[in-house]
Amino acid sequence: MALQWMILSYVVAAEAIIALLLTLPSPKAIKSTIVSLVSLVLQPALFIVPFAGFQLLDIYWKKEHRLMCTSEICTASERDRFEKSIYKAQRNVILCAAAILLYWSVYRICKYYKEIQSLEAVEKRFKEQ
């Protein structure tokens, strides 16, 4: 059960590092190499979007079918376990949202950089004429 969250947390960490690398100032040659490598990885890494979406649906389903422990009948340990599961679910929702948003951010950064490169090439051609 915890394996999927470990995988998702590693993917979020990797996406955050990639986003940081893409946004750091660097020479054009290094930046274009990084963007081309990340662009090659983006297509297979798209699996993270449906994976995170499925995890969000799983969290929602578990929330709807969770036994509520709000009455006086519940013991202290049951109440603690209930609250712990709520906190875990909230943490996992944030993790899923971060995975999706970071993937989208990396995708848009790469797309913008490629558009800038193509506009610079067009500008260079106009200057040569």
Q: Please give the chain's pLDDT, 129 residues, in tens.
A: 588 889 999 999 999 999 999 999 999 899 999 999 999 998 888 889 999 999 999 888 888 877 777 667 788 888 888 888 889 889 999 999 999 999 999 999 999 999 999 999 999 999 988
pLDDT of residue 44: 87
Within a 10 A sphere around the Cβ of 112, how many other Cβ atoms?
A: 12
pLDDT of residue 37: 92
pLDDT of residue 128: 87
Find where tokens 């679910």 sit: 89
Within a 10 A sphere around the Cβ of 52, how many other Cβ atoms?
A: 24
Q: Which DSSP letter does residue 67 get?
A: P
pLDDT of residue 74: 80
pLDDT of residue 1: 59
